[in-house]
């Protein structure tokens, strides 16, 4: 997407089922970085921050959140029709992330809404990624997304380059950071099958990696379970379910 | 009154999540006047089932990106109650400091980015980058401060990492806390400037009164945001306190036909939570500097104009900064140590509540003997406000009609009212739509 420097690409932000935490990350650059970003892009729609909406063509559409109901299909298709490039940002958009944690349950509606579960406006089905409905050009993983990776991807696209999205495990980043392995301090971790790119903040802060950026390609899920039991001390039942938090749709047993 | 008005706004902008307003007026008769919430439901109550207590707060943090610190804190407090865990004084103080960071962060976001454009006559913050560059720079600088502040204690502000049942997995260094204190002290003149900016546009805040019930955490010794009992204040000044564990009989959630979020009521037909409810309930505990700001904007211990919620948030910004400077002094006087995580002594059912920016938040969990969660429940501030917004609409629309407001003026008044509540609709289940036929 090479554009003359005097024409700023039109960027729009859209949200579906999510916590909007990835949008909030956009407000966390602080004064300098955010104002610099605005020198390079023109934001034409961003419901949470501005009243204007656009019906025009968009250069880059950034979509947050999962597809959870048919009612949202048309809105997604309309975004795709108007956008040259679509980025799904945040794990809810990329793989359905945490929203898919109920996909394996058959009673989630009645558990939450009881006798009201059948009211038509409460319609919700399995949580699916944006790519289940429309073609997505780039995926920005993570819960929340890494705001500097967002700048990196956007920067590459503005300059007509292909962004590089990591496909190696979080363990690599812990080694780089010289973070002591969670297994060596009596804990467990999902880092060995988890996609890196976050900088591995969780093990550095003293908690296990939850694989919030999804799995690396071809994760050895059987070996993960074995290690969780033998080295992490988890019960077999817990080990079996452990990676579901952000990866319900990526697992071998996905609904 | 016979003129034809038809306003139709879908997905109210500059609020978190999606809400619709439907108002149909025909020949002066209000046929329909609804605050609707068609946000896609996400089923977090169901998701936590079968998860270990150490994972639960990491799941429920994801209910809301703006109040993820608050969801994390309410969650670990409820789990600790269920697991028989008493946290240390250091943990308690660090969590208070973290809670102030989130309320400060969100109040800056709402006052400056979401509400201020209405008062400054803009459609968003972006044109203000040119027209009011000093205001925008100040807002972004304060936003960065709160992000650094929350990240220092919680690891991250969006989905904190270090907060777990039983304590903190990592505590800040004393030198980092000293640096934070210096930044907070340096921000005080910026807050003074914020007060001046708001004073210059305070006349744009609509005059509207609807006394209601105000509910907030409260305790006898401080401006409660992290801990306390539930206090309900009625328009006659009568106050009543409840234990947090009684939350179900206070909130009385019920389903509405037009909303994916639930509605609530306690002693009256609806009640209000959030900054205004906190200031009304806990006015006497505001620090002197915050009280001074309250007086400048004529906020009392019983302010009944819901539009004033944005000003109550401003009062709290000042309060958060000063109280946090005090907390840092106390923490440094004691000296920071890396403490072991307190382990469970039982597995039962427990409740926890904190004041997130938009009001009181309740979490409840039950655990089995393996420490696995068997049930979770949450009552979210915005849900507690939905019914109150609805009743405000029902009083406001006839008043606007009697004042012979134009369609555009009515639309803005209704939008500003909803924005004043600073609704966080993803939490409560997302949407706004105004439809008028007059």
pLDDT for A32 equals 75
pLDDT confidence band for B3 (50 / 70 / 90): low
Integer Cα distance of B255 and A116 in angstroms: 8
Among chain A residues, CA nearest to B52: A238
For the entire predicted model, the pTM comes to: 0.93
- How many CB atoms are closer than 10 A to CB A25? 24
Distances (CA, A) of B16 to A23, A191, B362, B383: 10, 32, 19, 13
pLDDT confidence band for B438 (50 / 70 / 90): very low
ipTM of this complex: 0.92
- How many CB atoms are closer than 10 A to CB B185? 13
Q: Which helix (H) or strand (E) holds B55?
A: helix B53-60
Tell me which chain A residues have a C-beta less than 8 angstroms from the C-beta of B40: 16-17, 68-69, 72, 124
Contact B148, B155 (CB under 8 A): no
Tell me which residue of B308, B85, B292, B100 sits closest to B184, measured CA to CA.
B100
pLDDT confidence band for A2 (50 / 70 / 90): very low
Query: Can you list the domains of chain B with their CATH numbers?
Result: 54-204+324-359 (1.10.645.10)
**Residue B107 reports pLDDT greater than 60:** yes
Integer Cα distance of B85 and B88 in angstroms: 10
Residue with tokens 């001046």: B196
Structure confidence by residue, pLDDT tens digits, B143-175:
999 999 999 999 999 999 999 999 999 999 999
Distances (CA, A) of B228 to B98, B132, B216, B218, B316: 16, 40, 9, 5, 18
pLDDT confidence band for A37 (50 / 70 / 90): confident
pLDDT for B46 equals 87
Integer Cα distance of A215 and A193 in angstroms: 6
For chain B, give the mean pLDDT: 90
Tell me which residue of B79, B47, B52 sits closest to B63, measured CA to CA.
B47
**Residue B114 reports pLDDT greater than 50:** yes
Structure confidence by residue, pLDDT tens digits, A64-107:
999 998 889 999 999 999 999 999 999 999 999 999 998 888 78
B49 CB within 8 Å of a chain A CB: yes
pLDDT for B22 equals 83
A95 CB within 8 Å of a chain B CB: no
Region A21-32: mean pLDDT is: 86
- Residues 6 or more apart whose CB falls under 8 angstroms from that of B103 comprise B225, B316, B320, B355, B356, B357
Integer Cα distance of B293 and A21 in angstroms: 31
Structure confidence by residue, pLDDT tens digits, A232-242:
999 999 999 99
Tell me which residue of B114, B113, B104 sits closest to B137, measured CA to CA.
B113
Structure confidence by residue, pLDDT tens digits, B277-297:
999 999 999 999 999 999 999
For chain A, give the mean pLDDT: 90
Tell me which chain A residues have a C-beta less than 8 angstroms from the C-beta of B64: 19-21
Considering chain A, what percentage of its residues have pLDDT values greater than 70? 94
DSSP state letter for A64: E
Contact B367, B348 (CB under 8 A): yes
Using the beta-carbon criterion (under 8 Å), do A49 and B58 form an inter-chain contact? Answer: no
pLDDT for A161 equals 95
Which ranges constitute the DSSP H helices of B66-173? 68-83, 89-108, 116-119, 125-131, 133-154
Integer Cα distance of A44 and B186 in angstroms: 35
Structure confidence by residue, pLDDT tens digits, B246-267:
999 999 988 776 666 678 999 9
B117 CB within 8 Å of a chain A CB: yes
**Which of A47, A113, A245 has the CB atom closest to B11's CB atom?**
A47
**Which of A22, A205, A241 has the CB atom closest to B161's CB atom?**
A205
pLDDT for B432 equals 31
Region B14-42: mean pLDDT is: 77
Structure confidence by residue, pLDDT tens digits, A92-147:
999 999 999 988 887 877 777 776 676 666 666 789 999 999 999 999 999 999 99
When mean pLDDT is compared across A215-224, B9-18, B280-289, the lowest value belongs to B9-18
Structure confidence by residue, pLDDT tens digits, B309-361:
999 999 999 999 999 999 999 999 999 999 999 999 999 999 999 999 999 99
Integer Cα distance of B286 and B270 in angstroms: 26
Strands B20-26, B29-36: pairing kind: antiparallel
pLDDT for B48 equals 94
A58 CB within 8 Å of a chain B CB: no
Contact B365, B78 (CB under 8 A): yes
Domain boundaries, chain A: 10-158, 170-247
pLDDT for B425 equals 64
pLDDT confidence band for B31 (50 / 70 / 90): confident
Tell me which chain A residues have a C-beta less than 8 angstroms from the C-beta of B147: 28, 30
Bridge partners, residue B424, by sequence? B16
Tell me which chain B residues have a C-beta less than 8 angstroms from the C-beta of A48: 13-16, 114
CA distance B388 to chain A (A): 21
CA distance A126 to chain B (A): 10
**Which of A43, A144, A235 has the CB atom closest to B158's CB atom?**
A144
Structure confidence by residue, pLDDT tens digits, B117-140:
888 888 778 888 888 889 888 998
pLDDT for B435 equals 44
When mean pLDDT is compared across A36-50, A166-180, A194-208, B145-159, the lowest value belongs to A36-50
**Residue B429 reports pLDDT greater than 80:** no
Tell me which residue of B138, B275, B115, B131 sits closest to B194, measured CA to CA.
B138
pLDDT confidence band for B434 (50 / 70 / 90): very low
**Residue B38 reports pLDDT greater than 70:** no
B121 CB within 8 Å of a chain A CB: no
Region B80-89: mean pLDDT is: 98
B366 CB within 8 Å of a chain A CB: no
Fold designation for A10-158? Rossmann fold (3.40.50)
Tell me which residue of A51, A134, A170 sits closest to B412, measured CA to CA.
A51
Of B304 and A50, more confident? B304
Q: A27, A72, A145, A228: which to substitute to probe chain B, counting the most B Cβ within 10 Å? A: A27
Contact A145, A18 (CB under 8 A): no
Tell me which chain B residues have a C-beta less than 8 angstroms from the C-beta of A122: 41, 260
pLDDT for B2 equals 38
pLDDT for B354 equals 98
Region A163-180: mean pLDDT is: 96
Tell me which chain A residues have a C-beta less than 8 angstroms from the C-beta of B62: 19, 21, 97-98, 143
Using the beta-carbon criterion (under 8 Å), do B43 and A24 form an inter-chain contact? Answer: no
Integer Cα distance of B60 and B47 in angstroms: 9
Structure confidence by residue, pLDDT tens digits, B368-411:
999 999 999 999 898 899 899 989 999 999 999 899 898 889 88
The two counts, helices (H) then strands (E), for chain B are: 15, 13
pLDDT for A34 equals 76
Integer Cα distance of A206 and A13 in angstroms: 33
Bridge partners, residue B142, by sequence? none
B40 CB within 8 Å of a chain A CB: yes
Q: What is the dihedral of CA B242, B245, B250, B253, to 10 degrees?
A: 170
At B31 the three-state DSSP class reads strand
Q: Chains A, B: CB contacts under 8 A, how many?
A: 175
Q: Which helix (H) or strand (E) holds B321?
A: helix B309-334
Tell me which chain B residues have a C-beta less than 8 angstroms from the C-beta of A202: 161
Tell me which chain B residues have a C-beta less than 8 angstroms from the C-beta of A99: 42
**Residue B433 reports pLDDT greater than 60:** no
The two counts, helices (H) then strands (E), for chain A are: 11, 5
């Amino acid at each position: 997407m090479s554009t003359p420097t005097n024409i700023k690409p039109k960027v729009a932000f859209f949200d579906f089922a999510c916590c909007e935490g990835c949008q909030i990350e956009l407000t966390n650059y602080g004064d300098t970085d955010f104002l610099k970003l605005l020198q390079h892009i023109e934001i034409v729609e961003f419901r949470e921050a501005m009243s204007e909406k656009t019906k025009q063509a968009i250069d880059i559409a950034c979509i947050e959140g999962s597809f959870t109901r048919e009612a949202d299909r048309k809105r997604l298709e309309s975004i795709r029709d108007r956008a040259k490039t679509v980025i799904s940002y945040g794990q809810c958009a990329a793989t359905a992330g945490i929203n898919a944690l109920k996909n394996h349950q058959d009673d989630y509606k009645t558990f939450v809404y009881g006798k009201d579960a059948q009211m038509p406006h409460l319609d919700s089905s399995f949580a699916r990624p944006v790519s289940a409905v429309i073609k997505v050009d780039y995926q920005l993983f993570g819960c929340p997304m890494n705001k500097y990776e967002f700048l990196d991807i956007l920067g590459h696209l503005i300059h007509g380059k292909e962004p590089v999205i990591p496909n190696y495990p979080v363990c690599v980043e812990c080694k780089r950071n010289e973070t002591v392995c969670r297994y060596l301090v009596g804990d467990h971790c999902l880092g060995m099958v988890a996609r890196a790119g976050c900088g591995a903040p969780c093990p550095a802060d003293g908690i296990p990696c939850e694989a919030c950026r999804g799995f690396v390609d071809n994760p050895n899920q059987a070996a993960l379970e074995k290690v969780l039991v033998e080295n992490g001390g988890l019960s077999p039942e817990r080990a079996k379910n452990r990676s579901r938090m952000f990866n319900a749709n990526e697992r071998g047993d996905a609904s | 009154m016979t003129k034809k008005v038809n306003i139709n706004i879908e997905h109210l902008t500059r609020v978190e999540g999606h809400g619709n307003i439907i108002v149909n007026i025909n020949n002066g008769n209000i046929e329909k006047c609804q605050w609707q919430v068609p946000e896609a439901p996400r089923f977090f109550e169901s998701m936590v089932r079968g998860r270990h207590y150490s994972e639960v707060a990491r799941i429920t943090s994801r209910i809301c990106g703006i109040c993820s610190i608050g969801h994390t804190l309410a969650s670990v407090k409820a789990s600790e109650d269920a697991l028989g865990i008493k946290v240390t004084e250091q943990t308690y103080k660090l969590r208070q400091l973290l809670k102030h960071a989130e309320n400060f962060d969100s109040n800056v976001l709402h006052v400056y980015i979401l509400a201020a454009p209405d008062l400054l006559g803009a459609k968003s913050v972006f044109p203000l980058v040119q027209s009011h560059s000093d205001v925008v720079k100040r807002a972004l600088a304060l936003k960065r401060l709160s992000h650094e502040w929350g990240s220092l204690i919680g690891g991250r502000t969006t989905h904190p990492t270090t907060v777990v049942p039983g304590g903190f997995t990592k505590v800040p260094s004393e030198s980092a806390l000293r640096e934070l204190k210096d930044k907070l002290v340096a921000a005080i003149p910026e807050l003074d400037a914020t007060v001046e900016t708001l004073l210059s546009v305070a006349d744009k805040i609509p005059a509207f009164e609807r006394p209601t019930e105000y509910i907030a955490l409260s305790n006898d010794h401080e401006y409660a945001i992290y801990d306390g009992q539930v206090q309900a204040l009625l328009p006659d000044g009568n106050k009543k306190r409840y234990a947090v564990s009684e939350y179900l009989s206070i909130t009385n959630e019920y389903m509405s036909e037009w909303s994916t979020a639930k509605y609530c009521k306690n002693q009256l037909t609806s009640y209000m939570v959030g900054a205004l409810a906190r200031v009304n309930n806990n006015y006497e505990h505001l620090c002197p500097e915050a009280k001074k700001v309250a007086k400048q904007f004529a906020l009392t211990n019983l302010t009944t104009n819901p539009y004033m919620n944005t000003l109550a948030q401003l009062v709290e910004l000042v309060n958060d900064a000063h109280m946090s400077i005090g907390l840092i002094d106390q923490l440094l006087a004691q000296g920071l140590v890396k403490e072991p995580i307190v382990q469970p002594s039982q597995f039962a059912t427990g409740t926890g509540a904190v004041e997130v920016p938009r009001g009181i938040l309740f979490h409840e969990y039950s655990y089995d003997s393996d420490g696995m969660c068997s049930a979770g429940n949450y009552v979210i501030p915005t849900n507690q406000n939905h019914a109150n917004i609805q009743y405000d609409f029902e009083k406001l629309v006839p008043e606007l009609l009697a004042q012979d407001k134009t369609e555009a003026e009515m639309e803005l008044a209704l939008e500003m009212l909803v924005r004043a509540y600073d609704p966080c609709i993803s939490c409560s289940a997302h949407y706004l739509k105004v439809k008028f036929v007059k």
